Structure 1
Amino acid sequence: MPDDPNKRGPQDRTRINVNEPHEVRYWTQTLGVTEAQLRSAVAAAGVEVKDVRVYLGKP
């Protein structure tokens, strides 16, 4: 089932999909980072939220 762009958060809260604008908005606000920082973290650490949090130093 495709993501519903009207939903505020991601369908799967364990992964970050930087190809979905609503997920980028959600995760940048949730993690307190810029879009560039989020994309860089996902490129370096992968799509798992726990790995991105560790990479960014966010609890």
Structure 2
Amino acid sequence: MADDKSKRDFRDRGLVSGDEEYEVAHFARKFQLTIPEVRELIAKHGNDRDTLEREAKALAGR
């Protein structure tokens, strides 16, 4: 039986939660950054995933 498409969860996949250690660690591994660097990016640019990925690529490219 197919999933009920009308039932949606509350999570927003477009955001990175700075409060969740596993999300910060995953983001850090993905872009070869340290956890403090990721937390600094979140503090500076907010938690929008697209913005953070763009800034992380720029930071990793330096």
TM class by smaller structure: 0.5 to 0.7
Aligned length, in residue pairs: 49
Q: Counterpart of 1:6?
A: none
Structure 1: runs of 5 or more not aligned:
2-10
Structure 2: runs of 5 or more not aligned:
1-8
TM-score (ref. length: structure 2): 0.63
Q: Percent identity?
A: 18
2:18 corresponds to 1:15: no
TM-score (ref. length: structure 1): 0.66
Task: Let me know the Cα RMSD of the aligned residues.
Answer: 2.0
Which has the larger Rg? 2
Distance in 1 (CA, whole Å) between partners of 2:13 and 2:53 is 13
